Structure 1
Amino acid sequence: MRAMPLILPAHLAVLALAALLAACGETETTATEIPVIDQTVAAYVNGEPVFEGDVELEAVARGLINAGQDFSAEDEEHRIILEQLIDQKLMAQEAARQQLDREPSGQRRLEMARERILGNLLVESLVAQQVTEEAIDKMYAEQVRLQQANDQVSVAHILVDTKDEADALFRQIEQGETFESLVFNNSKDTRTRMENGDLGYLAPNDLAEPFPVVIANTPEGEVSPPFETADGWHILKVKDRRTEPPKTREEMRPEIAAFLTLNEVSRILRRLRTEATIEQGGGEIYLPSTQPAAPITQSPPGDDDL
């Protein structure tokens, strides 16, 4: 089973686009962070500011940088985007001077743009609250379980009592020692130490956590960093696979984050539609109410008010 069951209606991706650019980028920030807008002034256009945060947001939207990544004014792409934002503000100022924003069509388009932006802000809020690294870990473990349902993997391990022992052995392997040369004198698993730690071909899902995830994240022929189980600390080697390995967590993270985001959008839309009053138009022309609000009157104070 190789296809990931991460499917939602495609039209929801439009609502989530702005947040996904921030939430799914491979950055050093966690999924729970909301970008802070830098209000340092990059330029003034007829007295109106263009902020550094505007430049960075535009760069993220174009895929030039990840959310939260440094974007120096010395970068050529920074200069290009800033010049384009200056041109955009000049054109907006001229449109306002010509009062195009006061025409009915202009006002409606501005309102639609405002609605899109508010929707994206809501999505960003949902990402901050729900698309956490813990949620991504949980879904990744489930995806690994599904994808390794029929897998057979040949693995070996070294088992020791403490993290310090495991870390020391792992450093030796990183420095050139072979996994096999360290098993006999260090592993406390008496059943496998005479066999270079070999556990044979196993179904990863038959093993205790976190073995399935560790196996998924360890390429064939490579050794995993130390990890802990109820038996102690392990270093694991994946010797062979009889099936295609699943994607690693980092490879799958953007897809999982996108799915979680769209799932939250779908959930809140279902609630909002249930609570809302929605009526299909009958073809009539909409005429907003022009009835002035009733004036607020105040009665003269009575004897009790004196």
Structure 2
Amino acid sequence: MFFKQKSVIALVAALVLGAVIFAVVGYGGQGARAVVAEVNGESITRKELDSYINVLRLFMPNLEPMLGDEARRPMLEGQILEAMVENLLLKQAAAQLNITVTEAEMQGFYEMARAQMIGQTFASEEEMMTRLQELQISEEALIDFIGSGIYTEKLEAHFISAATDEEIQQFLTENPDFGKNPAMLELSHILLATEDEALAARERIIAGEDFGDLAVELSTDPLAKNEGQRGYRGYLGAEIPEVNQLFVEEFMVGANKIENDGEISPPVETEFGWHLIKLHKRVPSTELSPEEGRQNAAQALGTQRAAEYMQTFKTEAQIERKL
């Protein structure tokens, strides 16, 4: 995915080697117990980092060659560790606010996400279970990975409920675009590893081949099973707060440069690889009802305050990275 929630960092001769390096180095012996970071006195171990990397492999096939690159691997491991630090900070911040997440909530969130994964990322439950076994991913690790989203939801809900009607109305007055459905793009994309591959695929499309067919054939994004469809996902026009942006900046900059419906972008580079983006159509902004606008503003205000709270919490945290 190319969402700003970097739930994931973009990641076949290298597949086996990479699996051995990252699955074995942290399991068993001193390596597994080695502490790679401490966050307010809580440790993240090498084994936990390796487990997190394996879960990323489940969703991001492009991770394998990137981790197999000796020059890039330390940087990627550092980025992945930083995501783990952020997740741990989120849980600690929630605890400080007396926000709790029960096992039942975690399980329910996981089951909902699991149902979505089957049919989108995987063709069947059997395919998903096979891949979990191949990567030696326990259900517990997968639940923990996916379930971190609950903490984000609950933290935002905390600040939404704390906002007064006056604060929400003032926020909406200062940010009237939250009283509208933002203008959006209906996009499809193909993700490839190199610029040369993207250029070659673009030439095939220009020559008359179907974009969706090539997405299924070539794209390394798991959503290629949906023929590269991204849906109404790109915010346009209005100044939307950074915390609400859905895609990484480079992707949206490339998409916004496309002028005409049906047009294909030149290759666009992001941290995930090289994208070909197809604009199906632009969806204009529409006014929300007063109540919908208020709810939208409350959500945005809560999200903004949660982000500000987390930034302060992180600034004041005692974090030691040991990679």
TM-score normalized with structure 1 length: 0.30
Higher Cα Rg: structure 1 or 2? 1
TM-score normalized with structure 2 length: 0.28
- Relative to its length, the structure with more helix (as a share) is 2
